[in-house]
Amino acid sequence: MNTADYIQLEEKYSAHNYHPLPVVLCKGEGVWVEDVEGRRYLDMLSAYSALNQGHRHPRIIQTLIEQANRLTLTSRAFHTDQLGPLCQLLCEITGQEQVLLMNSGAEAVETAIKCARRWGYTKKGVPPDRAEIIVCANNFHGRTTTIISFSTEALYRDGFGPFTPGFKIIPYDNPDALEQAINKNTVAFLVEPIQGEAGIIVPRHGYLQRARVICHQHNILFILDEIQTGLGRTGRLFCYQYEDVRPDVLILGKALGGGCIPISAVLTSREIMSVFVPGNHGSTFGGNPLACAVARTAVSVILEEKLPERSSELGTYFQSRLKALNSSKVKEIRGRGLFIGVELKPEAGTAREYCEKLLRLGILAKDTHEQVIRFAPPLVITREEIDWALERIAQALA
């Protein structure tokens, strides 16, 4: 079978809930992937930052195989020798006290929402069923019915109502709007430190700090969704470290699974986590020993290979070289570390067209929001590989 055959098969038998670029991948190693025709591509999407450690990192794959040969799943009806050590490690690197493990990012966001609501009722004294959570316009927190209830993207919502009440939407990067939106029933502010899916929107410096203080003053939980920005992507282990703030609740996912297994986590204090009691929340696969083992190695690779530092250094280099291209097609280049958005001028065409050009030149990148090309390669990328990519990006933007 060739590229056309595989695409045809997917077209026929898979739901059309994505519009993939026309390439059929079958192998990956580090920052490189290969298609069924034997062509090689530099992966500059990294599965939306789930592949910070690169494809098939040898240590992660070794852990996967060893744990697969030992114990894969028990459900949380029993203890395992993998859950505790992972939770301990996650607490050590975040300064949080307890962890609740789930599988997908959306499930972790749902868990944080349930946590905040129950905290509001049991600790803050909000009247039953009146809890409100404040979120930002153009947010992306996942695809469940409740999460799309507070999305501002029509495509994500159309035809999927009725929606879950209890959310208030304010503009991003606007602390005054946050302060004004708070009332006695507000239990939390849920926000991304950089809005990824919205087009790599970096808030002004001081935003997180202000939001942190406002949340504290009004006794509401400051919840950070670092599913995409966390674990080294933006040039710090966590993006909130740029402003030296600590969230009350931290949500992780994506790269926590080391690019090979879904696992997500909600981290918070012992007191806040105590809203969960046996039976009131759970997941069959959540915290399974296979995922826990992989996540522990995935995190240690990030720390030991100094991937946040790498992201910071190479991200600065990549961004400055992109700016030096001085392309007349480009409106703005922004981002932090190797989390970079190139916004095209409207008259230059859509980002999708450029991603198709880049594909033909051997680079996999993904458009986000019509005019923005996102460059977020695995953090194990080298300077030489970035130079290789820059030559081709220059060609595509010429």
Ligand X SMILES: *Cc1c(COP(=O)(O)O)cnc(C)c1O
Footprint of ligand X (CB under 6 A): 48, 104-106, 109, 140-142, 192, 196, 225, 227-228, 253-254
Q: Which residue in the list 43, 150, 167, 225 is annotated as catalytic?
A: 225
Residue 96 burial by CB count (10 A; 0-12/13-18/19+): exposed, middle or buried?
buried
Q: 22: cis peptide before it, omega within 30°? A: no
Q: Closest approach of Cβ 323 to ligand X, in Å?
A: 25
Distance CA 179, CA 203 (A): 17
Cβ 197 to ligand X shortest distance, Å: 6
Residue closer to ligand X, measured from CB, 106 or 393 = 106
Q: Is 352 exposed, middle or buried (0-12, 13-18, 19+ CB in 10 A)?
A: middle
Q: Do 338 and 381 meet the contact criterion of CB atoms below 8 Å apart?
A: yes
Give yes or no: 225 in active site: yes
| 113 versus 397: smaller Cβ distance to ligand X | 113
Query: For residue 394, with 0-12 CB atoms within 10 Å meaning exposed, 13-18 middle and 19 or more buried, which class applies?
Result: middle
Question: Cβ closer to ligand X: 48 or 222?
Answer: 48
- The catalytic position among 43, 150, 238, 254 is 254
Which residues in 159-168 are b (16+ Cβ under 10 Å) and which e? Answer: eeeeeeebbb
CB of 295 to ligand X, least distance (A): 14
C-beta of 141 vs 357, nearer to ligand X: 141
Q: Shortest gap between Cβ of 329 and ligand X (angstroms)?
A: 27
What's the closest the beta carbon of residue 154 comes to ligand X, in angstroms? Answer: 19
Closest CA to 281 of 123, 80, 114: 114
- Name the residue nearer to ligand X (CB basis): 48 or 354: 48
Structure tokens at 392: 């081709």
| Residue 13 backbone phi and psi in degrees, to 5 | -110, -15
Per annotation, catalytic residue among 43, 140, 285, 318: 140
Q: Which residue's Cβ has the minimum distance to ligand X?
A: 105
Can you give the C-alpha Rg of the chain in angstroms?
21
Q: Are 385 and 42 in contact (CB under 8 A)?
A: yes
DSSP lists the bridge partners of residue 42 as 32, 363
Least distance between ligand X and beta carbon 43 (Å): 17
Return the number of the residue (55 or 357) whose C-beta is nearest ligand X.
55
CB of 383 to ligand X, least distance (A): 27
Distance CA 355, CA 368 (A): 10
Report yes or no: 42 and 28 within 8 Å, Cβ to Cβ: no
Quick one: 118 or 141, whose CB is closer to ligand X?
Answer: 141
- Residues known to be catalytic: 140, 225, 254
